């Protein structure tokens, strides 16, 4: 119930493509769903987050789609760039102040 | 955004020694901080929740006597790996919540020889 399942494990897209990363959760008590970007040897950095009262949120080139009934959410990266090559983690928690449960991560490579 | 720092950024120690890692919230106060461990090419695994003024809460399977946590002030939490062994080599990351967001430190790479 505490797990967050993330797919795919790795992803390669060409520059300008739109990679999509998917996550699914079981615990309906989760009410905060952030996405983090991590570069090698660095800590995760918050990209964008959503709460279950909205179905979509956009910030710059990043969009979260949220399907409450299916207990799924996804990250779309528009006009992807080589600098977006990193590992992306979805996460979930009961409130932003609470401990996060992380997905397994997706290694994204954007080719020039 | 809010800034969380960690010190040291990397440390190498001999087996059997203890290592202390500091996590500081630089521009905000944090009554709670979280400590994670990340092995190469794996996800972050929560080790414990650090609570200012009270004992830390450890996740199942994490040895509290091995990983000592002290939340000394509203801006500082420390993780001490006692009697470190090579299997403790990992990337240790702390986070602190501010508002609805959690901000992560840059991580500490621990290598135990």
pLDDT value of position B99: 80
Residues in chain A with CB shorter than 8 Å from the CB of B49 are 99
Interchain contact, A104 vs B49, CB within 8 Å: no
CB environment A77-106: b (16+ within 10 A), e (fewer): beebeeebebbbbbbbbeebbbbbbbbebb
A37 token code pair: 């970007």
Closest by CA to B69, choosing from B44, B46, B89, is B46
Mind listing the pLDDT tens digit for each residue in A57-109? 999 999 999 999 999 999 999 999 999 999 999 999 987 568 899 999 999 99
Interchain contact, A42 vs B99, CB within 8 Å: no
Does B104 reach chain A within 8 Å, measured CB to CB? Answer: yes
A39 token code pair: 């570069």
pLDDT value of position B98: 87
Answer yes or no: is pLDDT of B3 > 80: yes
Distance CA B66, CA B64 (A): 5
Distance CA A93, CA A100 (A): 5
Nearest residue of A to residue B101 by CA position? A96
List phi, psi (to 5°) of A38: -130, 125
Please, which residues have CB within 8 angstroms of residue B51's CB and are 6 or more apart in sequence? B31, B32, B57, B71
Torsion of CA A44, A92, B57, B55, to 10 degrees: 70
Answer yes or no: is pLDDT of B1 > 90: no
Give me the total of CB pairs closer than 8 Å, taking one residue from chain A and one from chain B: 58
Does B34 reach chain A within 8 Å, measured CB to CB? Answer: yes
B68 token code pair: 């000592």
pLDDT value of position B101: 84
Which residue is associated with the tokens 């190498």? Answer: B12
User: What percentage of chain B carries pLDDT values higher than 90?
Assistant: 88
B65 token code pair: 């006597």
DSSP state of B103: E
Mind listing the pLDDT tens digit for each residue in B35-86? 999 999 999 999 999 999 889 999 999 999 999 999 989 999 999 999 999 9
């Amino acid at each position: 119930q505490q797990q967050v399942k993330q797919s795919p494990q790795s992803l390669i897209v060409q520059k300008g493509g739109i990679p999509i990363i998917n996550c699914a959760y079981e615990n309906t008590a989760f009410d905060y769903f952030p996405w983090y970007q991590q570069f090698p040897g660095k800590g995760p950095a918050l990209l964008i987050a959503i709460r279950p009262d909205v179905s979509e949120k956009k910030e710059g080139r990043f969009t979260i789609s949220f399907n409450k009934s299916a207990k799924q959410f996804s990250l779309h990266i528009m006009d992807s760039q080589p600098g977006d090559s990193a590992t992306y983690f979805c996460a979930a928690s009961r409130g932003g102040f609470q401990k996060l449960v992380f997905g397994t991560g997706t290694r994204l490579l954007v080719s020039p | 955004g809010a800034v969380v720092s960690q010190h040291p950024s990397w440390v190498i120690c001999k087996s059997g020694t203890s290592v202390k890692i500091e996590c500081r919230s630089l521009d905000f106060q944090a009554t709670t901080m979280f400590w994670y461990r990340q092995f190469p090419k794996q996800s972050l695994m929560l080790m414990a929740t650090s609570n200012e003024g009270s004992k830390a809460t450890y996740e199942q399977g994490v040895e509290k006597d091995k990983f000592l946590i002290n939340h000394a002030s509203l801006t500082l939490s420390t993780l001490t790996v006692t009697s470190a062994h090579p299997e403790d080599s990992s990337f240790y990351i702390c986070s602190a919540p501010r508002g609805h967001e959690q901000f992560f430190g840059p991580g500490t790479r621990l290598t135990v020889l």
